[in-house]
Structure formats: structure tokens, C-alpha cells
Amino acid sequence: MSLQEYGWSSFFADNFEPFARRGFRAGRVVLVHGKTYTLRTEEGETAVEARGRLFHRGREVPDELPAIGDWVVARDRIHSVLPRRSKLSRKAAGDQTREQVVAANVDTVFLVMGLDGDYSPRRIERMLIMAWEGGTQPVVVLNKADVAEDLETSKAEIESVAPGVPVLAMSTLHDPSLQLLDPYLQPRQTVALVGSSGVGKSTLINRLAGRQLMKVREVRSRDDRGQHTTTHRQLVRLPEGALLIDNPGIRELQPWASGDGLERAFEDVDELAAECRFRDCRHRDEPGCAVRAAVAAGELAEERLTSRQAMDRELEYLELRRDEHARRAEKKRVAAIHKQAKHFKPRGLAGPRGRSQ
């Protein structure tokens, strides 16, 4: 099967040309399992590791490591990662302030949420920030429509926090509703699935593939929470030619954003903010605040404003942590240079008795 069937395009071919002349081969990462990467090349699938320099560099700058969906340069090991057309990133879980790329070269991202206990408009806002920031096209997929208490109200609420974004209500247990996804599952197009554990991502992939590709577990009845059935990231090709990327369920979603994704996700709030009397209005108790006026008039939900303000604070803190991390890295780099300089003796300097060394 040709690389084109897996999304290869002139963009990647142009960037790969210098490596092709040196005898390297191109491959797309279709499975990430620990330190091992499975590549789809023109010869088929092969499992490799990243070369030492790339791996150690990735420990300092994780976004330079190969991610699922990446096109890479390889021989017996992965030499480098080709430039990405898009990516889905979040802040790595835990205390470290580092970017974690969960999928690369994605055309469309299905933001999957269950219409049971998983339902959360605030989580959709965060997933939208991730999608917009990475340059992908989001589609909200509201799964488990068959158990929704008030489907139309829930769908309208999500549409209000995702203006201009397709919002599809369906059930992976009923095959006819899967047809709603057909316009986005085109040959050679890459679609990533993002959502919490237990929302039905693995079931959805199995249904679309027509066979059991992913393990599926029952959701806990006491709280509608799922278990991590997907423990690795994988890209699969559907019979019709679309490419699907499944990800482990995300329970902690802190967007890795610079502001562009935030502004697009809260475009309605920003349009109101442009009418405020003061340009630096914080939308609290300032006079002439158009945003607070819209909330009072029922034109903007209070929760929507509160969510925007919370994200502002979170991203401001993230930016401070980024700067602190960059300063530490630079300080470490300079210290290493000074340490090397202490042990370096230029040739030709006079020794203890005046003789040349």
C-alpha cells in the first residue's frame, strides 16, 4: 500500500527530499507503545526505536519526540521527525510544565463526550481550545444519545459553547447513527478521537472498522466513569480509507495554548468584551462592562464568563511556568559550558617552567 493511502502529501515529500538523497526512508507512526514505534512505510510495517540523540533531546523537549500520526525519517532507528501540519497538545500530566503531543498531522478531531454522567460543557470548552490551538477542525460527538434525559437541551447547550462547530448526537450502539460521521471520514483524511475514559471511543472505532480492533470495558454504573481500555496510541485505517487515531482517555485536560485557541473557543465573550468601556476590563465590577451587562440580560451564561476567566488565570500561570522552565534550562546550559571550560587547556600555553605545553 502506498504512503499516499496513509496521508502522505507534497508537504511531507518536500521536507523529506534532502533525506531521500541520503538513503533514508519515510514512515508514519501508527503505534506508540512505550519507547517502541511502529511505522507504516512503503515496505509495510516495522517496529523501531528513536536514535539515542533524538531520545535524549526529547527528554528535555518532549514535543520533539515522535507522536502518533507523525511522519518520520528512519533507517534502523528513527533519525528525526518531519515538520507537522497540525498537532493536538496538552500540558503533560503532573507537576512538570511540558508539552505533550497526543497526535500529529490531524485533519479533524472528534471531541467525544457521553450524554450520561460524563456530560460537561466546561470540558468541551477545554477540548475546543486544544483543537483550535493545534490547527485542526473540531467536531463535537455527543455519544450515548439513547440514555440522555433531555437530548435537545443538552445539544443546544453544547452548541452555545461551540459556535460554528458541528455538534452530532448519536449512539455507537445503533449503526444508523454512525452515518452522521461519514462527511468527515474521507479517504486519506486523519481523524483523532479525544475524550474521557468510558465515552465510547473504542466502541466507535470497532463499529466503523467492522471488526474488534479495540478492547471495550463496561462503564461503572455508580458514577458513569470508564476504565482506561486504550493504554497506547494507535492509528488505524478504515475499509473506506479514512485514518483514525485513538487515544487513552483524558481525565486531566490542561490545554497547552498560547492564546489563539483560547480566543477562538471564547469568541462570543471576546466580541462582547470589545464593547466594554475600558480596554483592560476584567469583567468584574468595572463600570461600562458589556460582558457583565450581557450576563445580567441573560444573553450570556454566567458559567461561560466564569469559565473564560478561569482559563485566563490558568494560561497566565502556565506562561509563568514556561518562562521559569526556560530560565532553568538556559542556566543549566550555561553551567555546562563553564564546567567544560574549566577542564579545557588550549594547546601552546606555557607550562610551570615556561615551556610550551
Q: Which domains does the chain have, with CATH numbers?
A: 3-83 (2.40.50.140), 103-246 (3.40.50.300), 266-343 (1.10.40.50)
Higher model confidence: residue 131 or residue 93? 131
pLDDT of residue 228: 43
pLDDT of residue 271: 92
What pLDDT score does 201 carry?
85
- pLDDT above 90 (res 203): no
Does residue 187 carry a pLDDT above 50?
yes
* Reported confidence tier of residue 26, pLDDT bands at 50, 70, 90: very high
Instruction: Give the pLDDT of residue 61.
Output: 64
What pLDDT band is residue 66 in, cutting at 50, 70 and 90?
Answer: very high
Neighbours of 137 (CB within 10 A): 15
Q: Which of 62-66, 124-128, 352-356 has the highest mean pLDDT?
A: 124-128
Which letter does DSSP use for residue 325 in this model?
H
pLDDT digits 0-9 by tens, 310-340: 888 877 776 666 555 556 655 665 666 656 6
Does residue 7 have a pLDDT over 90?
yes
| Mean pLDDT within 4-33 | 95
Nine-digit cell string for 272: 462582547
Please tell me the distance from the alpha carbon of residue 266 to that of residue 163, in angstroms, as a whole number.
9
Q: How far is CA 122 from the centre of its chain?
A: 17
Who contacts 66 (Cβ-Cβ below 8 Å, separation ≥6)?
29, 32, 37, 50, 72, 78, 81
Q: How far apart are CA 110 and CA 248, in angstroms?
A: 14
* Mean pLDDT of the chain, nearest integer: 82
Pairing of strands 108-114, 137-143: parallel
Residue type, 137: Q
Contact 79/73 with Cβ under 8 angstroms?
Answer: yes
Reported as a pLDDT band with limits 50, 70 and 90, residue 29 is: very high
Q: How far is CA 86 from CA 63, 132, 135, in A?
A: 12, 10, 5
Cell 471520514 -> residue: 185
Q: Is the pLDDT of residue 145 over 60?
A: yes
Q: Which residue has the higher pLDDT, 49 or 348?
A: 49
14 burial class (0-12, 13-18, 19+ CB within 10 angstroms)?
Answer: exposed
DSSP-assigned letter for residue 356:
B
- In 3-state terms the chain splits into helix, strand, coil percentages (rounded to 5) of 40, 20, 40
pLDDT band for position 356 (50/70/90)?
very low
* For range 288-313, the mean pLDDT: 91
Q: For the residues 104-112, what does the mean pLDDT come to? A: 96
Lowest mean pLDDT among 188-197, 249-258, 261-270, 293-302: 249-258
* % the chain with pLDDT above 90: 49
DSSP 131-152: HHHHT-EEEEEEE-GGG-SSHH
Using a cut of 0.85, tell me whether the model's pTM lies above it. Answer: no
Rounded alpha-carbon distances, angstroms, from residue 244 to 143, 189, 235, 257:
17, 9, 5, 24
Taking 60 as the threshold, does the pLDDT of residue 249 lie above it? no
- The rounded radius of gyration (Å) of the Cα atoms in the chain is 24
Cβ(204)–Cβ(172) below 8 Å: yes
Question: Of the segments 111-120, 196-205, 222-231, which one has the largest average pLDDT value?
Answer: 111-120
Q: pLDDT value at position 254?
A: 62
Q: b/e for 33-69, b at 16 or more Cβ within 10 A? A: eeeebbbbbeeeeeebebbeebbeeeeeebbbbbbbb
Question: Span 224-243, mean pLDDT?
Answer: 73
Q: Which helix (H) or strand (E) holds 317?
A: helix 302-342
- According to the model, what pLDDT value does residue 357 have? 45
Mean pLDDT of the 40-59 span: 83
